[in-house]
Amino acid sequence: MTSTGDEMYALVERLYPLCRSITGDGVRATLEIVGEYVPLQVHEVPTGTQVLDWTVPQEWNIRDAYIADPAGNRVVDFAASSLHVLGYSVPVSATMPLAELRGHLHTLPDHPSWVPYRTSYYKPEWGFCLAQETLDAMPDGEYEVCVDSTLADGHLTYAEHVVPGQVADEVIVSCHVCHPSLANDNLAGIAVATYLARALAERTPYYTYRFLFAPGTIGAITWLARNAERVDRVKHGLVLACAGDPGSLTYKQSRRGDAEIDRVMRHVLAASERPHRVAEFTPYGYDERQFCSPGFNLGVGSLTRTPYAGYPEYHTSADNLDFVSPQAMADTLAVCREAFAVLDRNRRYLNLSPYGEPQLGRRGLYDALGGRSDTKQAQMAMLWVLNLSDGEHSLLDVAERSGLPFDTVAAAAGALHGAGLIKA
């Protein structure tokens, strides 16, 4: 996974300089780059389109923005960092005293060298984000203020990538593409989702996997509105975010709490012996709250490392390329792959010889285990699978009840199925 981690980090590096928002050319440029790694179907939804209780907003694009001091020096410059402008700022060109300008400035006094990330999506406003130490060094006087932006009718852009499976039932994997230069939130999630899609495409998975690259909140709501009639195909789902920081993994359960994805993630994380935390669902966070809204109530959880707002660097310029690592992203990807490998093989079986224990020796099943380092475990797995193959218990049920590794249980089921002792 080392080389894959390096490749994901390189993708984050490419995406980092782009100015993204919930709409606009920055989103399109991001999807164009992701499209070099996996083929994407890009959707453009016009401004004014009703999507559930929301309306697709006007499209925002920005070319330049700055604050120049009385001597003409740019003390705040959008060209240096896309975080310097309040997201969705309306255009402005003016000269004003510092006292008046202060009402449009956002800083982090507790972290004077960091620049905050702030937005004003649904209220016409303009502003700048800067380091407190920069503001402290600004003398009184007249400042030139420029935001060269447009806010006009256009489109909301999102994209999908589908990995076809053996069945039409779907697993949704979602990540948000609306944040500007924030490496962990959201670029690491985009990178992990992209490489997860590539990994799944190397085989034919059981489920069909639909990857959604969309702006946060309004993007997921738009997708749900446009797919309401087919959303019953979604059997499981995972929202990826904050996937590259040095913290341990956190899985936030779906609203149901007992959805299959919840059980799979709990099992995989526990079995891996990785430091981790399992959190209860709350209606705040990333787009799991849209998929888990009561009208849809889908089995969609969220996987992060340190959760949103759980680290000081969250939504600041300190969430930069130094804050994420190839190793952390590779670890997040590995857990996703492990979880989906379990999900894809988690079947219910029916014992075709349920009266008494069938004779395994004469069917060559014990001989097939010869030389395995876990022969005793494998034998026990066969007995457990036979005993719980009543059409009601899944292989994950067997693994949890027996305490045996899921892979061992799945291998035992495969051997028993091949011998004609169980059927799916």
Residue set of the binding site for Zn(2+): 179, 185, 315
Please, are residues 134 and 128 in contact by the beta-carbon 8 Å criterion? no
Tokens 């932006």 belong to residue: 149
Nearest to 412 by CA among 392, 389, 383, 372: 383
CA 169 – CA 175 distance, rounded (Å): 20
Query: Residue 108 — φ and ψ, nearest 5°?
Result: -125, 90
Distance, CA of 190 to CA of 286 (rounded, Å): 14
In the sheet with 92-97, reading across from the earlier edge strand, the strands are 74-77, 59-68, 142-152, 92-97
Total Cβ atoms within 10 A of residue 226: 15
∠ CA(194), CA(195), CA(197), 5° rounding?
Answer: 70
In angstroms, what is the C-alpha Rg of the chain? 25
What would the two tokens of residue 101 be? 């300008």
Q: Report the distance separating Cα 214 and Cα 14, nearest Å.
A: 18
| Cα–Cα distance, 296 to 259 (Å, whole number) | 13
Question: Known binding site: residues?
Answer: 179, 185, 315
**End-to-end distance of the chain based on CA atoms, in angstroms?**
33
Residue 87 DSSP symbol: B
What is the SS3 assignment for 396? Answer: helix
Token pair belonging to 312: 């000081």
